[in-house]
Structure 1
């Protein structure tokens, strides 16, 4: 029999969608799908979209999965019969498989930045130490802007935050090494920079952090789903990603990975009904005896440390389709397809006056260029119905699984 708390906790996506997901293999052989998968999206009917690093369009099948959940919710007939939603189990496992983790090491969070905040708090780094050596945090100026705001605010509180400056468009390893010392508690960076796709070597960073007794946090929102990630091989301690970019989900639901052997060392800083498996009242008539007012069976998983409140069930339904689909396409296959398209841009864009500022060894799908006249460039792109990301002095192009060479030529023709 389900309690009120269980009803709130476990109201998942439609059972039909969950059974469909569970019957499908969560992992498939790399390279199993020929790209591009143009017919899987309606996006090409509306524009030449080369801006998938901003937010990724929904595939047709993911949209149908979402609509199935909305139809289920509209009926109001609660179909959940177990204590845990089958869809949530499969989606958690799907992301874990994508990064080579265990499902118990993955918590649902509402955004990448939320995950980063939770990690900083769990390590006790939101305020300076009252005695002894001051712990420090090392990050870099190519980290996400919301994260730079986080660390700037911690600096105001007196926390020792060290922000490594870029050299041109890259972060030099030697500069990170100089910033890290025996009092470093956390290295926190974007695995792939949203600015130009600069990619950190996760294993090198993890080894550096561990050699100084520190932990490594990676913002993987521009990496997860478009380049291979292996948290086991790299030794990453924490990794977070929203789902609305390369995981092809939507806003409001993401993931936080925390390595199993790190969890017991963390401080619990926030509490929620999602952090225990069962509870028993000892305060009401007929309750069994026990400590007042209740006892709780606390989870010793990532969810048990970090999950807060309800999650976005509509996005969960979306991910129930997109994650296994990404696995079937093969992340290495997705990465190779984007790099093939970007090779043309690396060669041709400088001839049009757009200097490439993305390192040759960048791992993800982002390619960025310097822009002398942003207004003129924006007008050309708008006239050609080509969608990229424009920032002051920079243009970011990010092709995905539905883009083909014709889209690249449309961009080049618009700027010619």
Structure 2
């Protein structure tokens, strides 16, 4: 069994992407996703299939847990946590000290909201209809506690900055939205929203789970204050571990510590036993700097971090612009052909994201067609959402269009 696992790890490593300077071989990349041989999966916006090499990286950590140190296993003991933090920071042009691990995207948003003192009695929060469902629940729940909540309606399947301007004022504490909407793929004008929030003394938060790894993100250029995402969508990892960005200048000043735990300090020393060094009773420690020192509390999932680190290396080496360019022709084809087949589009023209949404008159009929063709895409309410990633090709789009026609 052990030798079989080693052969699997070696085979997976041999499929690593060529040097970044080389033109990517997307047929070879497709081989890294065995799901493609079992089912046509057009829902990476829901849960992205994992790469062989990412699973192999997780196995390397688990082999350390199984066999202990030795034969190089000890280097995987921490699950490459700090590498994952550093690589995610690189992906969004942040500093590692601006990244905290969080359980999920929504946990990150909750931490931001609470650290800003929301609901409070004097502020309002501005969000919009295209923000994530869990976030709408969050703010509507806080509204019951006295929050002045302002939800901007969509027009032509997009959020118009002029409509946001009408509801933002000097009491706006936070503008919260999705950089890319999970509903229809619309990309918000975050830079304009940040400028609007800052001009009124407020802050901006972006849910980036549908954008990190799929479209370029530069938190400096966007002037973002906060953003968060999990790793199981376009970062190609597993659930249970995500990232929260907190701009350095806000740490400990605007965004304050809410909970306390052992990931927030180092060099802990007791001063209660014989031969202990002298110091304050009962112990002393050094407080960790950075977003992690503010918001991380206890243990994180090392096995998930190992997969994240592997996937982030892959994404950075391939390059998000290349990922975006690979998906674009297939996305454009879907947006052109599906309305002709009786599925009106819900995604604004020219939207530069891999997510497209369509109206479905009879969702049960469509689900039956997709099941018969062994295709997984999201059909919920009277809408269909189709998403495209690195492992797809034009033959997949042919098969899908034939199935839904």
- Pairwise same-fold verdict (TM > 0.5): yes
SS in 2 for 1:274: coil
Q: Deviations over 1:101-129 (max 9, x none)?
A: 1111111111000001111111111x423
SS in 1 for 2:352: coil
SS in 1 for 2:249: coil
Residue 329 of structure 1 deviates from its aligned partner by 1.2
Residue 283 of structure 1 deviates from its aligned partner by 2.8
Given the alignment, which residue of 18, 22, 35 partners 2:26? Answer: 35
Distance 2:157 2:241 in 1: 31
Q: 1:408 to 1:30 in 2, by over 3 A?
A: farther
Distance 2:401 2:79 in 1: 46
Residue 85 of structure 1 deviates from its aligned partner by 4.2
The more displaced of 255-264 and 222-231 is: 255-264
* Aligned: 1:370 with 2:359: yes
SS in 1 for 2:25: coil
SS in 1 for 2:80: helix
* Aligned: 1:90 with 2:79: no
Would the aligned equivalents of 2:156 and 2:348 in 1 still touch at CA under 8 Å? no
SS in 1 for 2:66: helix
Q: 1:44 to 1:80 in 2, by over 3 A?
A: closer
Given the alignment, which residue of 352, 355, 360 partners 2:349? Answer: 360
Q: 1:31 to 1:245 in 2, by over 3 A?
A: farther
After TM superposition, the score normalised by the length of structure 2 is 0.91
1:306 corresponds to which residue? Answer: 295
* Aligned: 1:44 with 2:10: no
2:94 corresponds to which residue? Answer: 101
Residue 245 of structure 1 deviates from its aligned partner by 0.4
Residue 159 of structure 1 deviates from its aligned partner by 1.6
Would the aligned equivalents of 2:369 and 2:403 in 1 still touch at CA under 8 Å? yes
Given the alignment, which residue of 382, 385, 392 partners 2:374? Answer: 385
Q: 1:307 to 1:30 in 2, by over 3 A?
A: farther
**Which protein has greater RCO, CA pairs closer than 8 Å, 6+ apart?**
1
2:108 corresponds to which residue? Answer: 115
Q: 1:259 to 1:351 in 2, by over 3 A?
A: same
Given the alignment, which residue of 294, 297, 316 partners 2:286? Answer: 297
* Aligned: 1:182 with 2:182: no
1:7 corresponds to which residue? Answer: none
Would the aligned equivalents of 1:30 and 1:331 in 2 still touch at CA under 8 Å? no
Residue 234 of structure 1 deviates from its aligned partner by 1.0
Residue 381 of structure 1 deviates from its aligned partner by 0.8
* Aligned: 1:59 with 2:59: no
SS in 2 for 1:186: strand
Query: RMSD across aligned C-alpha pairs, in angstroms?
Result: 2.2
The more displaced of 294-303 and 366-375 is: 294-303
1:219 corresponds to which residue? Answer: 207
Residue 371 of structure 1 deviates from its aligned partner by 0.5
Would the aligned equivalents of 2:61 and 2:79 in 1 still touch at CA under 8 Å? no
Residue 170 of structure 1 deviates from its aligned partner by 1.6
1:14 corresponds to which residue? Answer: none
SS in 2 for 1:221: coil
Given the alignment, which residue of 226, 229, 239 partners 1:251? Answer: 239
2:129 corresponds to which residue? Answer: 141
* Aligned: 1:410 with 2:402: no
Distance 1:366 1:378 in 2: 19
* Aligned: 1:229 with 2:220: no
Distance 1:138 1:391 in 2: 26
The more displaced of 245-254 and 355-364 is: 355-364
Residue 415 of structure 1 deviates from its aligned partner by 1.3
Given the alignment, which residue of 225, 228, 250 partners 1:262? Answer: 250
Distance 1:278 1:164 in 2: 48
2:304 corresponds to which residue? Answer: 315
After TM superposition, the score normalised by the length of structure 1 is 0.88
Residue 308 of structure 1 deviates from its aligned partner by 1.9
1:394 corresponds to which residue? Answer: 383
Residue 31 of structure 1 deviates from its aligned partner by 7.8
State the aligned residue count: 387
Residue 81 of structure 1 deviates from its aligned partner by 8.0
Would the aligned equivalents of 1:216 and 1:238 in 2 still touch at CA under 8 Å? yes
SS in 2 for 1:33: coil
1:158 corresponds to which residue? Answer: 146
Q: 1:328 to 1:32 in 2, by over 3 A?
A: farther
Given the alignment, which residue of 338, 347, 356 partners 2:327? Answer: 338
Q: 1:201 to 1:32 in 2, by over 3 A?
A: farther
Residue 29 of structure 1 deviates from its aligned partner by 5.0
